[in-house]
Amino acid sequence: MKRLFLLVLIIIIGVSGLSAKDYYIYCTAESEDEVALIRFDGKTAHVEKRIPVGVWPVEIEGPHGITVSPDGDYWYLSMAHGLPYGHLYKYKTGTDEMVDRVELGLFPATMGISNATGLIYIVNFNLHGGHTEPSTVSIVDPEEMIEIDRVETGIMPHGSRLLNNGLKHYSVAMMSGMLYEIDAMTMQITRTISTAPPNKKMNAHSGHNMKKMDHSNMKMGKNKRMSNKDKKGIAAMGKMAMAKMDHKMPPEKPTWVYPHPNDNLIYVVNNGTDNVVEIDVKKWEVVRTFKTDKAPYNCEVSQDGKYLVVTYKGAAKTGVWDLKTGKEVAKLKNSRKVTHGVVISPDSRYAFVSVEGIGKEPGAVEVIDLHNLEKVAIAEIGKQAGGITFWKMTD
Amino acid sequence: MKKLYILILIAFSIGFGQENSEKKEAKHSFIFEPDSLFLNIGETGTVTIKFVDEDGNLANNPFYVYGRPRRALESKPRISDSTGVAVVTIKAFKPGKLNLSVRSISQKREDRVMGNMPIEVPFPPLDRIVFNDPILNVYVGTYVNYKTEVFDKANLKRTESKVLLSSSNSDVAEFDSYGNLVAKKSGKITLIASVDDIKESLNIKVSKNPVRKISVSADKDKIRTGDVLQFNAKVMNRANKVIKDVPVTFSYSGRAEYGIGLPASALINKDGKFVAETPGVFTVIAQSGRFSARKTIEVVQRNVRKEVKIVGHGTVSNVNTSDLWVWPGIGKHKGKDFAATGTWSANGEAYFWDVTEPENMYIIDTVTVDARTVNDVKVSENGEVAVITREGASNRKNGFVVLDIRDPFNVKITAEFNDDMTGGVHNVFIYDNHVYAVNNGRKYDVINIEDPSNPFRVGRYELSTPGHGVHDVWVIDGLAYSSNWADGVHVVDVGGVKFSEKNRSNIQYNPFLAMAGQGSPGNPVKLGGMADPNGHNHAAFPFISQSSDKFYLITGDEYGDQFGMAGGYHFLDFTDPKEPKETAVYQVPEAGSHNHWVHGDTLFASYYQGGLRVVDISGELMGDIYAQGREIAFFMSSDPEGFVANRPNVWGTMPYKGLIYFSDMNNGLWAIKLVDNNPMGTN
Contacts of B667 (CB under 8 A, 6+ apart): B313, B315, B316, B317, B321, B637, B638, B639, B641, B642, B643, B644, B645, B648
Which chain B residue is nearest to residue A103, measuring alpha carbons? B467
Per-residue model confidence as pLDDT tens digits over A108-137: 999 999 998 889 999 999 987 677 889 999
In the chain, the amino acid numbered A376 is: V
Mean pLDDT, residues A327-332 taken together: 98
> Would you call B114 an interface residue with chain A, using a CB distance cutoff of 8 Å?
yes
Alpha carbons B495 and A68: distance in angstroms, whole number: 53
CB B140 within 8 A of CB B206: yes
pLDDT at A117: 87
For residue B483, the tally of other CB atoms under 10 A from its CB is: 28
Above 50 in pLDDT, residue A214? no
Confidence of residue B503 (pLDDT cuts 50, 70, 90): low
pLDDT of residue B128: 96
**What pLDDT, on a 0 to 100 scale, did the predictor assign at position A230?**
57
At A55 the pLDDT is 86
Within this chain, domains B126-207 and B307-675 share the same CATH topology: no
Using DSSP's 3-state secondary structure scheme, residue B81 falls into coil
Task: Kindly provide the ipTM of the predicted complex, given to two decimals.
Answer: 0.83
Contact B458 A230 (CB under 8 A): yes
Instruction: Identify whether B34 is preceded by a cis peptide bond (ω within 30 of 0).
Output: yes
Determine the Cα–Cα distance for residues A8 and B248; give it in Å rounded to an integer. Answer: 101
**Which of B66, B467, B522 comes nearest A229 by C-beta?**
B522
Q: Which of A179-183, B112-116, B255-259, B273-277 has the lowest mean pLDDT?
A: B255-259
B591-645, pLDDT tens digit by residue?
999 999 999 999 999 999 999 999 999 999 999 999 999 999 999 999 999 999 9
Domain ranges for chain A, please list them.
22-198+249-394
- How distant is the Cα of A7 from the closest Cα of chain B, in angstroms? 43
- Is the predicted pLDDT of residue A8 greater than 90, yes or no? no
Q: What CATH superfamily is the domain A22-198+249-394?
A: YVTN repeat-like/Quinoprotein amine dehydrogenase (2.130.10.10)
Assigned fold of B2-121: Immunoglobulin-like (2.60.40)
Lowest mean pLDDT among A326-330, B302-306, B561-565: B561-565
- Distance, in angstroms, between B121 CA and closest chain A CA? 19
pLDDT confidence tier of residue B105, bands split at 50, 70 and 90:
confident
Specify the 3-state DSSP secondary structure of A243.
helix
CA proximity to B274, closest of B626, B616, B628, B548: B628
- Cross-chain CB nearest to B394 (options A85, A218, A338): A338
The closest of A258, A325, A330 to A292, measured between CA atoms, is A330
Mean pLDDT of B420-426: 87
A9, A16 Cβ separation under 8 angstroms: no
As a whole number of angstroms, the distance between CA B300 and CA B682 comes to: 11
Q: What angle do CA B420, B425, B429 make, to 5 degrees?
A: 115
Taking the CA of residue A220 and the nearest CA in chain B, the distance in Å comes to: 6
From A199-208, A348-357, B441-450, B607-616, the region with the lowest mean pLDDT: A199-208
CB distance B461 to B455 below 8 Å: no
Closest Cβ opposite residue A233 in set B68, B78, B523: B523
Structurally, at CATH architecture level, domain B126-207 sits in Sandwich (2.60)
Query: Which among A58, A148, A230 has CB closest to B565?
Result: A58
Give the percent of chain B with pLDDT over 90. 77
Each residue of B13-67: pLDDT tens digit? 444 444 444 444 458 999 999 999 999 888 999 999 999 999 999 999 888 898 8
Q: Do A117 and B64 touch (CB under 8 A)?
A: yes
CA-based nearest distance B454→chain A, Å: 7
Chain A 110-139, CB below 8 Å of chain B: which residues? 115-119, 127-131
Q: Do B6 and A358 make contact, defined as CB atoms within 8 angstroms? A: no
Which chain A residue shows the shortest CA-CA distance from B368? A359
Query: Domain spanning B307-675 has what CATH number?
Result: 2.130.10.10
Provide mean pLDDT across the span A262-281.
Answer: 98
User: Considering CB atoms only, which of A32, A187, A222 is closest to B78?
Assistant: A187
The residue ranges of every structural domain in chain B are: 2-121, 126-207, 230-300, 307-675
**pLDDT band at A226; cut points 50, 70, 90:** very low
Tell me the C-alpha distance between A272 and A255, whole Å.
Answer: 9
Cα-based distances in Å from B348 to B8, B395, B564: 56, 13, 26
Q: B396 pLDDT band (50/70/90 cuts)? A: confident
Dihedral Cα A171, A176, A177, A182, nearest 10 deg: -30
Q: How far is A196 from chain B (nearest CA, A)?
A: 23
pLDDT tens readout for residues A44-71: 999 999 999 988 888 899 999 999 999 9
| Pairwise CB contact (< 8 Å): A230 & B442 | no
Res A84 pLDDT > 90: no
pLDDT, position B78: 83
- State the Cα–Cα distance between residues A78 and A110, nearest whole angstrom: 7
Listed by number, the residues of chain A in 140-159 with a beta carbon closer than 8 Å to a beta carbon of chain B are 141, 143, 146-149
Mean pLDDT of chain B: 91
Range of B83-97, B152-166, B246-260 with top mean pLDDT:
B83-97
Q: How confident is the model at residue B507 (pLDDT cuts 50, 70, 90)?
A: low
Q: What is the DSSP string of B287-356?
A: EETTEEEEEEEEEE------EEEEEEEEE--SSEEEEEEEEE--GGGTT-EEEEEEEESSSSEEEEEE-S
In the predicted structure, residue A2 carries a pLDDT above the cut 50: yes
Q: A384 pLDDT exceeds 50?
A: yes
Around Cβ B590, how many Cβ atoms within 10 Å?
Answer: 10
Are residues B422 and A128, on separate chains, in Cβ contact within 8 Å?
yes
